Structure 1
Amino acid sequence: MLLIVQKSFFCVYRDSGSRNFKSLLDLGSLTLVRSTIKNQRSQTFKAFYASLRKAPPADIDDVPSDNDFILSILRANASSRDAKPYFASFSPRPRPVPALPQIDEATPVEFREPLPVTEHPKVSPLIASIIDPVIRRTALVKIQGPFNQVQLDSIARGMVYLEKLGLVSVIVVENDDVQRGEQDSRSVIVEDTMRLVSCLEKHGARARPVLGAVVRLGPKPEDPETVQDFVPPEAHTCPSDLVPIRSALRSGEIPVIPPFALDSFCRSVRIDANDVIGALARGMAEAGSQSSSADASIEASGEVDLTPLRLMIINREGGVPSYARTGFPHLLINLDSESKHIRETFHESWRHTHKTALSNLALAKTCLTYMPPTSSAVMVSHRSQSSLIGNLITNRPAVSSSLPHALLQGNRKLTPHTPTLIRRGLPIRVVRTVENIDRNKMNALLEQSFGRTLEETDFYDRLKRTLDFVIIAGDYAGAAIVTNEPSSDLSQPISYLDKFAVLPSHQGDGTVDFLWVALHDESYGLGHPFSANPNGGKEGQGEGRDLVWRSRANNPVNKWYFERSSGHVRMGDWVLFWCDAEKRLKIEQGRRGRAGLSYIEDWEEGRLASWIDVVHKIPSSWKK
């Protein structure tokens, strides 16, 4: 069986043409074999479970095929670097090596007990990964219907795929067409819950309806009355309320929960699903943090870590519409610095087409406050459920928000159903004088990011003469330093990206994209309406300038730079990159009409030689 599975995976992979062979082969083989074994177990249990309900077992053809599952993984296009956070969260921890018995050196050799001779046969990594199970994590999922049967089948299939990768969903069902207080609203919600349970079982999962209330109305007694810039949920949980969820997860079942809560009279009433999810996010995160030696105990017992790793909102609207993308969804949202601006620029027409976008954004902010810093939320249309696999493996958006605007506008992946990835994020600010830089924190950031020792005196002396601005993310978690380098051949100084650095602990959490988007808005993207993001800088006002920078030819980050630059040229051991001012390019294109831009425009002649000449003379910032 194992050989057949591996062979089928290799054929699918070879036809895909992906370059990330090693990382995806390991990931795909590992998950595929686990899923094969799990499917067989689930079929046995499902037949037994169905017989208890006096319902015929689901047909075997309805179970999603392994090929579909593998193709969904391949479409994520995850490199080994992208998949590191996934393996860090789901791979088993190394087991301690047992110590050998101590030998008393004073005892004669002939009286010592012989050491046990243990043969250690070579075990295939694939078989070892099957024997050593993956850690299971939880995701909070809001199914915001109503959905027809085909749509519900598609959503259920996505939940099953995520479970195969180790992410077990705790689902809360909502129906936007049935208002609270309406006659039979409870029975409709219960019926929707049972339909979803049936769909999950039909596609090979084990699901359990939890029809009793798992949250209580009102804030927690110990909570403060007001919290600045934060909307706490209108419900809370006690440890005993999570028992049904724990029981379901321990039994390998997906809990499916209607939005019910206990009021002060211990009556079960229907409330907003957002309040249920917010209360569960807090309660589950607190339950997970209270477990001593969480990882070790979870691996030993086979239980699921209750701390939510993802928040998934699956609806009919899709993501949060963006003013910068003509109504297409935001790709990546930095809640800390962008949520207020998104609310202020939300078009009135979107309040009819995306009625719950802002309330779901507020839900994400509430949940991510309680969830771990590496967690994320994703808002996705039911048409794009397969993108959830890519989000789980890479924890990044389907299309990078830091790509040039022209590439985003013409990108076929950018559709009304493209998911919106939401991160807790960091505040972004712009400073324009060396005196406003915290040198100790900046030094630590640069030296940790580049792995070299800064020549501090010379570096800051040069910044005093040439600094244009510095963009700082959070408490120096990342920074972009831009200088004005004088040129005798050009009418104005060159805008030069001197340093772009992110702490290793923040690489992979969205800080890189947040920082580059702010750099775009403050330099070569100036003058466009979509650059008017509030970050303490020019907020989109002014004329964009060409941005130039250099990088070592062997720098592994160069692939990322290639995708974001307008062009590059080799300079021996260096590569010179640049981004053209986007507003000027747009004006030139409008002036020429259908003729388009030529290979070299008049205003481009001679600039490349001037850039190379100036950049070559910029001294190194590092100690030798």
Structure 2
Amino acid sequence: MSARIFDSAIRQAQVATTSRSATPRTKTPVRWIKTGRKVLAGEVRKRQVEAERQRDLIMSVLEAQPSARDSRFYLRNFDPASRPSSMESSLFAPPKPRRRAGEVDGPAFPLSDQETPTTAYSRAIPTTSPDERTGEAVPSAQTTDPKGKTALASELLSAPASRHTALVKVQGPFSDRQLESIAEGMVYLKKLGLVSIIVMDHQRWTREEERIRRLNLPEEDGRELIVRLREEMKCEAIRLSDALEAKGGAARPLLEGVLCVHGAAFEDTLKPIASTSARPYEKRTEDLFVDSLSAIRNAVQQGEIPVIPPIALDASCFSLCVSANDAMRAIAHGLADAERWTGLRYEADTRLSNDVDLTPVRLMIINREGGLPSHARGGDPHLSINLESEFDYINKTFIWKDTHPNALANLALVRDCLSHLPRTASAVLVSHRSPRSLIANLITNKPAHSPSLAHDLLPRRNMQHQPTIVRRGLPIRVHRNMDDVDLDKMTFLLEESFGKTLNREPFYERLERDLDFCIVAGDYQACAIVTNEVRLDPESGQPLLDPVTGQPEEPIAYLDKFAVLPSLQGDGTVDFLWGALRDESWGLGLLDALNPNVGGLGGQGIPRDLVWRSRANNPVNKWYHDRSTGFFKIPPPPGGAVGFALFWCEVEDRASEFMRDEKEGKRMRSTPEKLTKWAPCIGAIPSCWI
């Protein structure tokens, strides 16, 4: 966030707390107004508390450090169409990509973030908005209102009128103080436009259900234990509701009537209900279902937070204790069905067609464990997970069952729930110690730290409580032969991403000869193409020989193309693709490069420096700079008007050594010699565009 926006928000926070600092603490505060009536001490205190909460909310937003781009992204999705943002003009409307026959548009939320890097030649994004009086374009960050505050800051900190929903599992046990912290985070999210639909869970409940079944008690005794467990679930839901109310948020405990059980009868209450999590993912049937969303819909309409215990009614209306994970699956399925107008009784009513959209845009799991541990981060949480390519690998290599006993079950729950929701929906696994990180994720729609950054650039302290962002993502495959590549789909991807027409024949002829590997995400929604570039003798045209060995020089690993379809911008695909690229080149051979992608080397091999070029005026160069070891400017090719910036990623073992030398004031070794080899070779590569 710019300094102007930051200062403006700080001034608002100071104004919000003025009354608190001016109020004496030694006696009961009493204030007179024009009518002569007294304002009671309780009312004054209530206003002070509200002002303090407003200040805390502002500070939580500022701690998220949203950039102007992140703020615009948030406003696009949470600002209602009836109250258009002054920042939202046609200048920011993303270009509509050409689509293949039969391809359908993705869901409306979240909108594509067109400033996320997608290609080596990304389109520049305008950073101006029209002046209301003159109609002339002025810089967006300096557009001000009459009070001198930036319009962007004012709109970001104002309560949005539109609402979206999040499906949240709160998995205890939690102390009163911990529950208050969670409730505070939920209330702040509601003020920012995200209403949580909460399902309660407790580690002890599952064990208690299993214990009751193992005891094989008489029916009356078993029923008494179940009733006692059911009452405990209801009390926990009311406890969280009270915490939400105490933090200034309206809550509605929905103790019964939301969930029902297929085929259960009163006499079967002591028998275990078949868990959906125990069945194959592809062939799962639902044992629980949502009978009606009327109560949830009405609560969201009223701005209240529904709190639901894992209790379901059987055929005889007896309340059963069920798995919270199964309850989450059933509610996710029901919320999605409500918007498709299928499957739910009482929901296919035309009067609801223009009602609030209940489809969750976020799935949250708040517990004591936090994010999923990662081998690549030494046991610290994954920053981001691509379910399509990493789910099986994480399950096979997970070694933290003692410290994170619920991690794999929660990951399976996330996968099942996201399968019902729009592809753009994401999930967050977060510890109760960092509930405010949910605000940062809401505003930026990104992990706290970019997972595509070099590990040495990530902070090493307080990482154990960082949340894990989980997306459905895309399967990733590595091809090492052009015969395995669909040229038509590849052409469409490149032309859509770069906005140019590909000179197909010479480009693919060069790839047939020089391809090292090609990484493809999904059905050609993204790709990274790496070639082997050989330095040639300018006189003979033959490959140059190494003066020491007398053998041909080792080819240069050149990132020829890095492309993501514009429709996938902002959904994490660029980070997943960059991570796969790292594990196949400059990170190869390291213990944290155990790439699970089909066709990958699995971390086995000799790493190589990766080199690529980008036009000197490319706005994506800042993103490349943060992820490279260094860059060097090279002149334009013959007949070209714009020069290039040559970037490279050093083999990570050597890069770490260089960074240590640089901190100690030593000069970096060997890199200048490489640049003399890289620059002429890379600069002479012809353009592939018509």
Q: Assess same fold via TM > 0.5.
A: yes
- Note the C-alpha offset of 1:25: 9.2
Residues of 2 paired with 1:208 and 1:29: CA distance? 35
Query: What are the Cα deviations for residues 539-574 of structure 1, in whole angstroms up to 9, with x where unaligned?
Result: 111011000011112211111111110111222421
2: distance between equivalents of 1:395 and 1:449? 22
Q: TM-score, normalised on structure 1?
A: 0.79
For residue 167 of structure 2, the aligned residue among 128, 140, 153 is 140
Contact 1:141 / 1:312 at 8 angstroms: preserved in 2? yes
1:153 aligns with 2:180: yes
The Cα offsets for residues 288-319 of structure 1, whole Å up to 9 and x where unpaired, read as: 2339xx9xx99997x53110110010000011
Aligned: 1:439 with 2:487: yes
**Relative to structure 1, is the Cα distance of residues 441 and 235 closer, same or farther in structure 2, using a 3 angstrom cutoff?**
same
Deviations 1:111-134 (A, max 9, x none): xxxxxxxxx999997999999963
Query: Which stretch has the larger CA shift, 607-616 or 128-137?
Result: 128-137
Compute the displacement of 1:243 (Å): 1.3
Comparing both chains, which one has the higher relative contact order based on Cα–Cα distances under 8 Å and sequence gaps of 6 or more?
Answer: 2
Q: 1:595 to 1:398 in 2, by over 3 A?
A: closer
Matched residue SS, 1:475: coil
Alpha-carbon offset, residue 81 of structure 1: 3.2
Q: Give the corresponding residue for 2:243.
A: 199
Residues 1:31 and 1:514: Cα distance change in structure 2 (over 3 Å): farther
Match of 2:579 among 502, 512, 517: 517
Paired residues of 1:319 and 1:418 also in contact (CA < 8 A): yes
1:215 to partner: Cα distance: 1.4
Q: Is 2:440 the counterpart of 1:427?
A: no
Q: Residue 576 of structure 1 contacts residue 612 of structure 1 at CA under 8 Å; is this kept in 2?
A: yes
**CA offset at residue 514 of structure 1?**
0.6
- For residues 299 and 132 of structure 1, the distance between their equivalents in structure 2, rounded to whole angstroms, comes to 25
1:565–1:489 Cα change, 3 Å? farther
Partner of 2:58: 70
Q: Which amino acid aligns with 2:357?
A: D
Aligned-partner Cα distance in 1 for 2:469–2:194: 17
- Looking at structure 2, the residues matched to 31 and 510 of structure 1 have their Cα atoms a distance apart, in angstroms, of 33
CA distance in 2, matches of 1:609, 1:177: 65
Alignment of 1:189-588 (within 5 A): 189-218=233-262, 229-230=281-282, 232=284, 234-238=286-290, 240-290=291-341, 303-347=355-399, 350-408=400-458, 411-412=459-460, 415-487=463-535, 488=544, 491-535=553-597, 536-572=599-635, 573-585=643-655
User: Structure 2: which 5+ runs fail to align?
Assistant: 16-41, 85-131, 135-144, 213-224, 265-275, 536-543, 547-552, 636-642
1:35-81 residue CA offsets vs partner (Å, 9 max, x unmatched): xxxxxxxxxxxxxxxxxxxxx99955555522221121122222233
Q: Name the SS for the 1:370 alignment partner.
A: coil
- 2:683 matched to which residue of 1? 616
Q: Distance in 2 between matches of 1:219 and 1:70?
A: 50
CA distance in 2, matches of 1:137, 1:225: 27
Closer, same or farther: CA 158–267 of 1 in aligned 2, 3 Å: same
3-state secondary structure, aligned to 2:70: coil
> How far did residue 435 of structure 1 move?
2.0
Q: Does 1:187 align with 2:231?
A: yes
How far apart are 1:594 and its partner, in Å?
Answer: 13
Identical amino acids, percent of aligned pairs: 49
Q: What is the rounded CA distance, in whole Å, between the counterparts of 1:532 and 1:20 in structure 2?
A: 41
Residue 76 of structure 2 corresponds to residue 88 of structure 1? yes
Quick check: 2:381–2:466 contact (8 Å CA) kept in 1?
Answer: yes
Q: CA 1:526/1:80 → structure 2, altered by over 3 Å: closer, same or farther?
A: same
Q: Secondary structure at the match of 2:165?
A: strand
Question: Is the Cα contact below 8 Å between 1:20 and 1:77 reproduced in 2?
Answer: no
Q: Deviation of residue 398 (structure 1)?
A: 0.8
Task: Check the 8 A contact 1:230/1:366 in 2, yes or no.
Answer: no
1:10 is matched with none
Cα shift at 1:405: 2.3
What displacement does 1:283 show?
Answer: 0.4
Residue type at the aligned position of 1:456: R
Shift of 1:333: 0.3
The normalised TM-score by structure 2 is 0.72
Instruction: Quote the Cα distance in structure 1 between the aligned partners of 2:164 and 2:351.
Output: 10
Distance 1:29 1:308 in 2: 34
